[in-house]
Amino acid sequence: MKLVRFGPKGREKPGMLDAAGVVRDLSGVVDDIAGETLTPAGLAALRALDPAALPAAPAGERLGPCVGRVGKFVCVGLNYADHAAETGAEPPAEPVLFMKATSAISGPCDDVVRPRGSTKLDWEIELGVVIGKEARHVSEEEARGHIAGYCVVNDISERAFQLESTGQWTKGKSCDTFGPIGPHLATAEEIPDPLALSMRLSVNGRTCQNGSTRTMIFGPYSLVSYISRFMSLQPGDVISTGTPPGVGLGRNPPTFLKPGDVMELEIEGLGVQRQRVVDYDG
């Protein structure tokens, strides 16, 4: 099952994709793709529906973030062995965690805004894990049952904010529009092996990241278990699981985004994102 949210920013409606890829309106069934809708019972109720019996959304509607009312946006750093190597870092012995502000969340094809003072804007394609069942101190074996599904995340980063002067990872990751998620949430049964997914990101048509979730150091089940030791995870929380090599910071010389650049991202089975970079005009 593939779930979406569609419509104007801040007024998105819940939907699902039918077998032909047409968006079907779920607003007569649930209020959002969030919270209780993402629990095992909520998803089971949606699976019982006949998509053909639901109204089709208007053609060409904007797709919003595929999950609404996200409570926590937890990110994992240096979680691909080949990405750690390109940055010159030792692979971590335990997951490196940081938080991304939920106000950074945007739609999969919304513009990415380069904030005031930005000089080193960077891209990161990542597998997103969406929680569907509350998790506290769960084992790795139990963790699978706490995942509602998966989506594409672009963990946009401002490296100067993140790493220089009084740099902090959260500060460099949390500007508005720095968290595109979607286009759809693929429920867990759609992705039987989350560690066997190809990943690709291009900038202006040139491939920059071409990797696989196979090179993750800590897989999704391990991460859910680990994170649940330090904070409870609630339905609708999003975990962004790290990026493969090919980020701008790791290139020689380093290469960063500028207004007018266009990023395209795709993870196998999870759809395509496309964002244009624009300057902040406020």
Helices (runs of H) and strands (runs of E) counted in the chain: 6, 18
Q: What pLDDT was estimated at residue 53?
A: 96
Q: What pLDDT was estimated at residue 83?
A: 76
Q: What pLDDT was estimated at residue 84?
A: 74
Q: How far apart are CA 163 and CA 157, in angstroms?
A: 10
Q: What pLDDT was estimated at residue 151?
A: 99
The residue type of 275 is: Q
Instruction: Please spell the DSSP secondary structure of 118-135, one letter per residue.
Output: -S-EE--EEEEEEE-S-B
On average, the pLDDT of the chain sits at 96
Q: ω before 259 within 30° of 0 (cis)?
A: no
Using the Cα atoms of residue 210, residue 215, residue 216 and residue 217 in order, give the sign of their dihedral. negative
Q: What pLDDT was estimated at residue 229?
A: 98
Q: What pLDDT was estimated at residue 166?
A: 87
User: In terms of Cα–Cα distance, which of 138, 140, 122 is closest to 86?
Assistant: 122
Domain residue ranges of the chain, discontinuous segments joined by +: 67-279
How many Cα neighbours within 13 Å face the side chain of 277?
A: 23
**Residue 203 backbone phi and psi in degrees, to 5:** -125, 120
CATH of region 67-279? 3.90.850.10
**Residue 159 backbone phi and psi in degrees, to 5:** -65, -35
Q: What pLDDT was estimated at residue 194?
A: 98
Q: What pLDDT was estimated at residue 261?
A: 98
Q: How far apart are CA 29 and CA 127, in angstroms?
A: 28
Using the Cα atoms of residue 104, residue 107, residue 113 and residue 118 in order, give the sign of their dihedral. positive
Using the Cα atoms of residue 167, residue 170, residue 175 and residue 178 in order, give the sign of their dihedral. positive
User: Which stretches in the chain have pLDDT values below 50?
Assistant: none
Q: What pLDDT was estimated at residue 98?
A: 97
From the number of C-beta atoms within 10 Å of its C-beta (0-12, 13-18, 19+), residue 63 rates as: buried
